[in-house]
Structure 1
C-alpha cells in the first residue's frame, strides 16, 4: 500500500459522508420551512451546533480562547454564513433541493474570481472561460426555476456569493486554529447574532424573523437541521485532516447526486432535462477549474 494510503482512504470516505449528510440538513430545513420561519431554522442550526461541538472541542483540548482580532473574524464569518444559510433555506421553501444545490455550485467560480480580486491570485484565461461556462450552466438551471418560482430562484446564487466570501475570510484565520474549534467559535458567534434578532422581532409579524412555537414533528425537523449540520462539518473537518484537498475536493460534486436522490425520495422532485444539462455543465466546468489549479500548483520538474 502506498505511503499515506491508509489515511487517504478514510479521508475520502469521510468526504463522501459529508456529501450525504449536508443534503440531509437541507432536507430537514425544507421539511421545516412550511411552518417555521427561516431565521428560526438558522438559529436551530447554529444553536445545536454549539451544544454539540463545544463539549467535543473542550474534551479534545482544542478550544483555545480566540484573541480580539480572531473574535472579530469569527463574527465576520458568522455574519456571512448566516446570510448564506438564510438565503439557501429560504430558497428551499419553494425550490427543489437538487436545483438549489446545483445553482449553489457556482461558488467555486465566484471563489476563483474573488481570489483574483481580493487576494491577488493569478487567474488565467482558461479558468476565466471555465467560470463563464459554469455560470452558463447555472443559467440553464435558473431559467426554468425563475419562471416557476420567481426571484427566489436567485437565492442560491446569493448563497454562493456569501459562502465564497466566507471561505476567503476563513483562509485568514484557519491557519492559527484547529478546525473543530474554528467551527465551534463561529457557531457561537452566529448565535450571538441571530438569537437577539429573533428576540427583537418576536411578535413583529416580520415573517422570516418572527419566531413561532414548533408543533409536533417540526421539533424533529429543527433538531435534524442542527444535528446534520454538525455531523457534516465534523465529516469535512476530519476529511481535510486526513486527505489532501486535491484528492477530496472533486468529491464535493457528489452532493448534487445525494440531493437529487433525497429530493426524489422525500419530496418527489426530479430535475428536468434542461436542469440536468445545466448541472452537467456546472460539474464539468468546476472540475476543470479544480484540475487547472491543481496543475498550476505542482512544483516544476527538477532540471535534468
Structure 2
C-alpha cells in the first residue's frame, strides 16, 4: 500500500473514531447527566491513555519547567473545550456541531497569523473570511434553530484553536501521549467537580456499553491521528479530515433521526471547501519556500 493511501485511511479512521465517540456521548445525553458522563468517560480514557503510553514507552513527566507550564495551560483550555463542545453535542444535532468544528483549519491558520506572526497571503485570508460566512449559515443567528448551544460550539472552536497553538509551543521532545494523558485527566476532574452534590443516575448495561464504546473510539481516533502524521504527503492526507462531517451526517440520520436544514448543509459545504483550499495553499507556499 502506498504511503498516501495508508495516510488517507489512517485519517479516515481517526475522524471516524472521534465522530463515533461523539455519537456515543450524545446517545447518553437523554438518560445520563452531562458531568456524570464526562467523569466516567474521563476515568476510563485516562487509564487507557496511561496504559498505552506506558506500553509504548512514551510516558514521561521529567520535563522542563516551561513545558510543564504549557501542558498545564493546554490542559485548562482542553477542559473548557470539552465542556462547551459536549454541552453543545448534548443539545444540538451531531452534524451541526461537527460542521462548526470543521472550521478548525481556518481558525488555526488565522490565529497563527495573528499570534505567531505566520505569513498568510490574501488568498488564504479570503478563504478564511468566506469560510466564516459558511459558519453563519450553519448557526443562522436570529432564527428558530439558533440557541445558546450554537454559541457553545463556537466557543469550543476558539478553545480548541488555542489548544492547538499551545501544542506548537511545546518542545519536540515532549511525548504526545504524555500531553494527551494530562488532558484526559483534566477533563476527568471537570466531570468529578460537576458531579459534586448532584444526583447520580443508576448505570445500566447499555450505558456502560456506550461509555466503553466512547473510550474505545476516542483512543483509536487519537492513535490514528498520531500515526497519520508519520506517513504520506500531508497535502494529500489532510483533506480527508472532512470525512468526519460525512460520518456525522450518516450517524445523525441512522441513529438520531436528524437531517440538517439545506442552509446548514450549504454552509458546511462552504466551510469544507474553504478549509481544503487553505490546506492546499499552505502546501503550495511550503513547496515554494523549499524551492527558494
Q: TM-score, normalised by structure 2?
A: 0.90
> Are 1:146 and 1:153, in contact at CA under 8 Å, matched by a contact in 2?
no
Aligned mates of 2:96, 2:204 — CA distance in 1: 29
Partner of 2:33: 37
1:156 aligns to 2:156 (yes or no)? no
Deviates more, 1:254-263 or 1:169-178: 169-178
Please give the per-residue CA displacement for 1:28-59, whole angstroms capped at 9, x wherever unaligned: 11111123232333333332222112122212
Computed over aligned residues only, the root mean square deviation of the Cα atoms, in angstroms, reads: 2.3
1:211/1:78 Cα in 2 relative to 1: closer, same or farther (>3 Å)?
Answer: farther
Aligned partner of residue 196 in structure 2, secondary structure = coil
C-alpha contact (below 8 Å) 1:94/1:149 kept by paired residues? no
What is the deviation of 1:100? 1.0
- Give SS of 1:217's match: helix
Counterpart among 54, 67, 71 of residue 68 in structure 2:
71
- Among candidates 287, 292, 297, match of residue 286 of structure 2: 297
SS across alignment from 1:64? coil
Q: Distance in 2 between matches of 1:231 and 1:12?
A: 15
Partner of 2:196: 202
Residue among 267, 274, 288 paired with 2:277: 288
Match of 2:177 in 1: 180
Structure 1 gap segments, 5+ residues each = 205-209
Using a 3 Å threshold, how does the CA distance of structure 1 residues 62 and 302 change in structure 2: closer, same or farther? closer
Note closer, same or farther for the CA distance 1:229–1:300 as it changes in structure 2 (3 Å cut). closer
Partner of 1:225: 214
Whether 1:253 and 2:256 are equivalent positions in the alignment is no
Matching of residues 74-223 of structure 1 within 5 Å: 74-143=71-140, 147-173=144-170, 175-191=172-188, 193-194=189-190, 197-198=193-194, 202-203=196-197, 212-223=201-212
Segment drifting more, 218-227 vs 271-280? 218-227
The separation in 1 between residues aligned to 2:152 and 2:50, in whole angstroms, is 31
- Distance in 1 between the 2:259 and 2:183 partners? 34
The CA deviation at 1:212 is 4.2
- Structure 1 pair 262/144, CA: closer, same or farther in 2 (3 Å)? farther
CA change 1:268–1:174 in 2 (3 A) is farther
Report if the CA contact (8 A) 1:102-1:256 is conserved: yes
Residues 280 and 268 from structure 1, CA distance in 2 versus in 1: closer, same or farther, beyond 3 angstroms?
A: same
Instruction: Give the conservation status (yes or no) of the 8 Å contact 1:95–1:145.
Output: no
Deviates more, 1:84-93 or 1:240-249: 240-249
Deviates more, 1:65-74 or 1:80-89: 65-74
Partner Cα separation in structure 2 for residue 123 and residue 229 of structure 1: 32
User: Structure 1 residue 257: deviation in Å?
Assistant: 0.3
Unmatched segments (≥5 aa) in structure 2: none
Whole-Å separation in 2 of the counterparts to 1:257 and 1:33: 22
